[in-house]
Amino acid sequence: MTIGIIGSGAMGAGIAQVVAVAGHEVYLLDQSATALEKATANIASTLRKLAEKGKMTAEAAQAATARLHPTTVMQDFVGCGLVIEAIVEELGVKQQLFRQVEVVVPADCILASNTSSLSIASIASACQRPERFIGIHFFNPAPLMALVEIIPAVQTRAGLAEEVRALVQGWGKLPVLVKDTPGFIVNRVARPFYGEAIRLLEEGVADMATIDWVLTELGGFRMGPFALMDFIGHDVNYRVTESVFTAFFFDPRFKPSFTQKRLFEAGYYGRKSGRGFYNYAEGAAMPEP
């Protein structure tokens, strides 16, 4: 099956690597040629390093790299059996994109969104054939994180979730079927996790580094909440919180934070922009609030 991936940012590039390694021909599309170049160079170099470390053979790494076709032209999706979207977390933009995708792809092509929080039903509603629409939600970094949430919408045809589950499992992932609700499992549980950590900071209970340290060293989390929000990106993370809060009819449990909103507005997205809660600028001591 040929797979189309839209968006070559953190998630799209990671998903493209996963499916290329699994043996699929992959068309990776982005509106930004610069983002595409960066993504393809990163994937090629990651696969090369994996081969050098003996995690895969040099031939397999080369073959996976050769299966990856970067493009800015939607027409290249004409032979796709599955398209996964990983663009900006905005409902209107995603809906508009799928209207364009449907014009190009075959009638039986499965359409999927990697959205973290938006209603799958509402994205599907923009499609001519919403019964072939489903959520396939990977975690960052996609090549390393085993969990994938599979989210059928109310419109999704019977049987599609199982087909997709089997496909994703074949890529070496651990899929879990989840109902189409705001934030699904992980991003719903994560909202109070981030929100409470920010409130601890705002109330001066402890500084960021201490909170992160407590949760990693003593709480067993791989990353503390501030380091994790910086890793995910405040553009993504803030929008997800806002979307979950709105979707739960402004339930205060999910209320976004002004502290994070200011980072988002300033363009302090975290690692990707060089500054978030911490400062990642070259030469800056780490961690530095």
86 binds ligand NAI (CB under 6 A): yes
Please state, in angstroms and rounded to a whole number, the distance separating the CA atoms of residues 156 and 160. 7
The answer to whether the bond into 287 is cis (omega within 30° of 0) is yes
Q: What is the DSSP string of 216-283?
A: IIIT--SS-HHHHHHHH-HHHHHHHHHHHHHHTTT-GGG---HHHHHHHHHT--BGGGTBSSSB-STT
Examine residue 70 and say whether the peptide bond preceding it is cis (omega within 30 degrees of 0). no
**88: contact with ligand NAI by CB under 6 A:** yes
- State the residue for tokens 């402890």: 206
Catalytic residue among 8, 116, 117, 243: 116
- Residue (51 or 185) nearer to ligand NAI, CB: 185
149 is catalytic: yes
Member of 31, 57, 128, 210 binding ligand NAI (CB under 6 A): 31
User: Tokens 């995708």 appear where?
Assistant: 101
260 binds ligand NAI (CB under 6 A): no
Return the range that interacts with ligand NAI (CB under 6 A); candidates 112-120, 122-130, 245-253, 275-283: 112-120
Residue number of the CB atom closest to ligand NAI: 9
Which C-beta is closer to ligand NAI: that of 57 or that of 138?
A: 138
- Nearest residue to 154 via CA among 133, 128, 126: 133
Residue 140 is a catalytic residue: no
Q: Hey, how many other C-beta atoms are within 10 angstroms of the C-beta on 126?
A: 17
Question: Considering only 122-130, 163-171, 233-241, 244-252, which stretch makes contact with ligand NAI by CB under 6 A?
Answer: 233-241
Residue 196 annotated among the catalytic residues of the structure: no
Q: Are 89 and 115 in contact (CB under 8 A)?
A: yes
Which residues in the 139-168 window bind ligand NAI by CB under 6 A? 139-140
Using rule CB under 6 A, residue 111 touches ligand NAI:
no
Q: Name the residue nearer to ligand NAI (CB basis): 87 or 178.
A: 87
Least gap, CB of 266 to ligand NAI (angstroms)? 16
What residues form DSSP beta bridges with 85? Answer: 6, 113
CA–CA gap between residue 82 and residue 22 (Å, rounded): 14
* 89 catalytically annotated: no
Residue from 4, 9, 256, 270 in contact with ligand NAI (CB under 6 A): 9
Q: Which residue numbers are catalytic?
A: 116, 137, 149, 187
Chain residues that interact with ligand NAI, rule: CB under 6 A = 6-12, 30-32, 35, 86-89, 93, 97, 114-116, 138-140, 232-233, 236, 240
